[in-house]
Chains A and B, each alone.
Chain A
Amino acid sequence: MTTAYLEDFESFTRTGGGRAGWLEELRQAGLERFRKGGFPSGKEEDWRFNNLAGITGTDFRLAGADVSGVRPEDLRPYLFAIPGVSTLVFVNGRYAPALSTPAATPSGVTVRNLAGAFAAHGDLISRHLGQYARLEESGFTALNTAFVKDGLFVHVPPAADTGPLVHAVYVTDGRADGAATHPRNLILVERGGRAAVIESYIGLATGAYLTNCITEAVVGQGAFLEHTKIQRESEQAFHVGTTHLSQGQDSRSLSFSISFGGAIGRNNLDMVLDGPGIESHMFGMYMGRGRQELDNHTSILHAHPNCSTREIYKGILDDRSHGIFNGKIYVTPEAQKTDAKQTNRALLLSDTARIDTKPQLEIFADDVKCTHGATVGSLDPVAAFYLKSRGIGRARARKILTYAFAAEVLEEIPHESVRQQLEAVVMSRLESLAEG
């Protein structure tokens, strides 16, 4: 089922692809890879828990360039009131300047849309784009690369004093029902710099559409990146996204991945610790209901000594929803004194919800501390009793404890306005929980 994508590629390159040279080659290579390999199948280890029929059985045509269907008030519930934040809005995959409110950035720092950045930053982009998201990693990556056009571009030069705070909002509206978008983001934080980037994926459409997004982020020596991905697609939509985080020596990162939407919502987090002395914290939270399938695949490569990673993912699954957590930690023989801790917890609110969880630790160094823990359960009856013993009824106690389960991750988010929005989403989801 790839013909439609091949046709769209032809018209894409003919009419709107633009840019000759390296970018054209990159796209062509993506297309070739997709033509040969197509979408992943359930036979592949990385996709064996997924049911991709909803994606592979539909021709999602490339979304049109019309960004006029979204009004500022449509976006208001999704925006953040953080001082100094640059908000860049993308509608159906294209930058929508009329909806965006870029803030002044520190000198030398660039925050803009990728399509608009090629002219001034072509060399820099060409050195990084596609270097981390390798075509062979999956058909989705190949397809995204074939259709690279727009997304977020952030560049923080070496030793910049202050870093930007960016909120990129990717909206799919009713005009893109049945369509595909392929947002592509590039975040480069050079030596000693810092940046905070929040990506929100929003569905204003109610039907099925495909968001196939990729973020490549490079964190230079001693630099710091805070990266948050919020997935609030339509519950009929398909979202497949990969975040690549490549970290240099002594750098730090703090990442969040929060998912509420999607008939299928798949997040890949691919972290490469490309130097010694790195510290990374990764948090994930997802809430599924109906027949949603919410999947988090994380992969951490410890390739140098003295790096520490902390990973906590928590899922709340109701109705017939299906959660997947696959956490890979690979420690090379050089990566002595690695300190890696992975925790994955799932809360099943119904008898028909389920979770597939697979920790995957491959350790080839001998002086390391690597632990993983996975728990799957329902609400703790002793905790529920505690609330009841204070007069709080069963249904309310269930909501409070479920909220508390999610809050443990949300509390770590450093921006109050982000935290509040997400807590409100969790609360409203809990209100719809079956009573009793």
Chain B
Amino acid sequence: MLEIINLHAKAGDKQILNGINLTVHAGEVHAVMGPNGSGKSTLAQVLAGHPAYQVTEGQVTYMGQDLLELEPEERARAGVFLAFQYPVEIPGVSNAYFLRAALNEIRKSRGEEEIDPIDFMELVEQKLALVQWGPEIFSRAVNAGFSGGEKKRNEILQMAVLEPRLAILDETDSGLDIDALRIVADGVNQLRRPDKATIVVTHYQRLLNYIIPDRVHVLANGRIVKSGGKDLALELEARGYEWLAEPAVTA
């Protein structure tokens, strides 16, 4: 589904990604871990097309297309979803309006008709159960005045409604208490499908107790320095990142 080859990217003058290679198949969950500043969030944002980053080298192929050629909205319409580490507040624009606008853009791009408002409400009501929210969330403005945990839940709600093929969760677990973490993880798990893939970017192993990954990758200095199965996350929890970071610097 996704093939990243030798990806280099910078923000301003600062080189952050130094040759990422990663292949994700449909049905898989990959965890990308690493210390602060290793480039794991940058990787997530580059895949979604964040304007602050410039790709300087390498290729990303998604569903047979050159992902880097696409505008962020085109990537979204093609099924890429980034759950933001810091979701943006949009005062005055209700969640219902925002979600419906997004869903309709995606449907239009697939040649489908706009969703009927009543069907839309029914759809969202089902999805609300995933994040254990009531319908009052519809009329609230997007993320405005939301707590950190509420913002993350809203990302999962959006993901559930938009049904991406490739979901990228950028530190969705940071700042969550254990209950919110469970809600978020349950939401992600219920969306696992053989035709979909998920990349979970996280600093801590904790989230991976709830979302069991197929593969775990460790980033240091903008490169994947180690890959393994789900046990690698536990090893990192026990040993920290230092034993992996050193060789990468000299490599």
Binding site for B on A (CB under 8 A): 380-383, 385-394, 396-397, 400-401, 403-404, 406-408, 410-411
Given the known inter-chain contacts A391-B106, A392-B105, please indicate yes or no for A386 contacting B87, CB distance below 8 A.
yes
Q: Is B193 an interface residue (CB 8 A)?
A: no
Report yes or no: B93 in contact with A407, Cβ–Cβ below 8 A: yes
Q: Is B137 an interface residue (CB 8 A)?
A: no
Given the known inter-chain contacts A381-B51, A393-B105, A400-B101, please indicate yes or no for A388 contacting B76, CB distance below 8 A.
yes
Checking A391, A408, A411 against B73 with a beta-carbon cut-off of 8 angstroms, the contacting residue is: A391
Report yes or no: A391 in contact with B109, Cβ–Cβ below 8 A: yes
Q: Which residues of A contact B77 (CB under 8 A)?
A: 391
Q: Which residues of A contact B90 (CB under 8 A)?
A: 383, 386-387, 400-401, 404
Q: Is B84 an interface residue (CB 8 A)?
A: yes
Within 8 A of A (CB), among B126-170: 141, 158, 162
Rounded to whole angstroms, the CA-CA distance of A394 and B84 in the bound complex is 19
Q: Which residues of A contact B82 (CB under 8 A)?
A: 389
Nearest-neighbour CB distance to chain A for B105, whole angstroms, equals: 4
Rounded to whole angstroms, the CA-CA distance of A380 and B77 in the bound complex is 22
Rounded to whole angstroms, the CA-CA distance of A408 and B101 in the bound complex is 20
Rounded to whole angstroms, the CA-CA distance of A396 and B106 in the bound complex is 13
Given the known inter-chain contacts A391-B76, A393-B73, please indicate yes or no for A404 contacting B92, CB distance below 8 A.
yes
Checking B50, B72, B93 against A403 with a beta-carbon cut-off of 8 angstroms, the contacting residue is: B93
Report yes or no: A385 in contact with B102, Cβ–Cβ below 8 A: no
Q: Which residues of A contact B49 (CB under 8 A)?
A: 385, 388-389
Given the known inter-chain contacts A390-B76, A390-B158, please indicate yes or no for A411 contacting B92, CB distance below 8 A.
yes
Report yes or no: A389 in contact with B51, Cβ–Cβ below 8 A: no
Q: Is B88 an interface residue (CB 8 A)?
A: yes
Known: A391-B105, A400-B101, A404-B141. 19 other contacts (CB 8 A): A380-B88, A385-B50, A385-B51, A386-B90, A388-B49, A388-B72, A388-B73, A389-B72, A389-B73, A389-B81, A390-B98, A391-B73, A391-B162, A392-B102, A393-B73, A393-B105, A394-B71, A397-B73, A400-B90
Report yes or no: A407 in contact with B92, Cβ–Cβ below 8 A: yes
Which interface residue of A388, A401, A410 has the most chain B CB atoms within 10 A? Answer: A388
Residue of A nearest to B71 (CB): A388
Rounded to whole angstroms, the CA-CA distance of A385 and B49 in the bound complex is 8
Given the known inter-chain contacts A390-B162, A393-B73, A393-B105, please indicate yes or no for A404 contacting B84, CB distance below 8 A.
no
Q: Which residues of B contact A390 (CB under 8 A)?
A: 76, 81, 98, 102, 105, 158, 162
Q: Which residues of B contact A393 (CB under 8 A)?
A: 73, 105
Q: Which residues of B contact A410 (CB under 8 A)?
A: 92
Nearest-neighbour CB distance to chain A for B106, whole angstroms, equals: 4
Q: Which residues of A contact B87 (CB under 8 A)?
A: 386
Q: Is B60 an interface residue (CB 8 A)?
A: no
8 pairs, A vs B, C-beta closer than 8 Å: A385-B48, A385-B72, A386-B90, A388-B73, A389-B49, A389-B73, A390-B162, A403-B92
Q: Is B37 an interface residue (CB 8 A)?
A: no
Rounded to whole angstroms, the CA-CA distance of A396 and B73 in the bound complex is 11
Residue of A nearest to B143 (CB): A386
Nearest-neighbour CB distance to chain A for B109, whole angstroms, equals: 7
Rounded to whole angstroms, the CA-CA distance of A387 and B93 in the bound complex is 12
Checking A382, A391, A407, A408 against B88 with a beta-carbon cut-off of 8 angstroms, the contacting residue is: A382
Rounded to whole angstroms, the CA-CA distance of A213 and B105 in the bound complex is 46
Q: Is B240 an interface residue (CB 8 A)?
A: no
Nearest-neighbour CB distance to chain B for A427, whole angstroms, equals: 11
Rounded to whole angstroms, the CA-CA distance of A408 and B144 in the bound complex is 10
Rounded to whole angstroms, the CA-CA distance of A386 and B77 in the bound complex is 14
Residue of B nearest to A401 (CB): B90
What are the 9 A-B residue pairs with the smallest beta carbon separation, nearest first? A407-B92, A391-B76, A390-B102, A388-B72, A386-B88, A391-B105, A388-B73, A391-B106, A383-B88
Which interface residue of B77, B81, B103, B105 has the most chain A CB atoms within 10 A? Answer: B105
Q: Which residues of A contact B175 (CB under 8 A)?
A: none
Within 8 A of A (CB), among B25-69: 48-52
Q: Which residues of A contact B75 (CB under 8 A)?
A: 389
Rounded to whole angstroms, the CA-CA distance of A294 and B81 in the bound complex is 41
Q: Is B229 an interface residue (CB 8 A)?
A: no
Rounded to whole angstroms, the CA-CA distance of A390 and B97 in the bound complex is 13
Q: Which residues of B contact A387 (CB under 8 A)?
A: 90, 102
Q: Is B91 an interface residue (CB 8 A)?
A: yes
Report yes or no: B71 in contact with A392, Cβ–Cβ below 8 A: no
Rounded to whole angstroms, the CA-CA distance of A391 and B100 in the bound complex is 11
Rounded to whole angstroms, the CA-CA distance of A403 and B97 in the bound complex is 13
Which interface residue of B71, B73, B82 has the most chain A CB atoms within 10 A? Answer: B73
Residue of B nearest to A380 (CB): B88
Given the known inter-chain contacts A385-B51, A386-B84, A400-B101, please indicate yes or no for A394 contacting B73, CB distance below 8 A.
yes
Nearest-neighbour CB distance to chain A for B104, whole angstroms, equals: 9
Report yes or no: A400 in contact with B73, Cβ–Cβ below 8 A: no
Q: Which residues of A contact B158 (CB under 8 A)?
A: 390
Residue of B nearest to A390 (CB): B102
Residue of A nearest to B48 (CB): A389
Rounded to whole angstroms, the CA-CA distance of A406 and B93 in the bound complex is 11
Report yes or no: B105 in contact with A404, Cβ–Cβ below 8 A: no
Checking A383, A396, A401 against B101 with a beta-carbon cut-off of 8 angstroms, the contacting residue is: A396
Nearest-neighbour CB distance to chain A for B190, whole angstroms, equals: 20
Nearest-neighbour CB distance to chain A for B157, whole angstroms, equals: 12
Given the known inter-chain contacts A388-B71, A391-B73, A392-B102, please indicate yes or no for A411 contacting B50, CB distance below 8 A.
no
Rounded to whole angstroms, the CA-CA distance of A383 and B87 in the bound complex is 9
Nearest-neighbour CB distance to chain A for B65, whole angstroms, equals: 16
Nearest-neighbour CB distance to chain B for A412, whole angstroms, equals: 11
Rounded to whole angstroms, the CA-CA distance of A396 and B72 in the bound complex is 14
Residue of B nearest to A383 (CB): B88
Which interface residue of A385, A390, A403, A410 has the most chain B CB atoms within 10 A? Answer: A390
Residue of A nearest to B76 (CB): A391
Which interface residue of A400, A404, A407 has the most chain B CB atoms within 10 A? Answer: A404
Rounded to whole angstroms, the CA-CA distance of A411 and B140 in the bound complex is 12
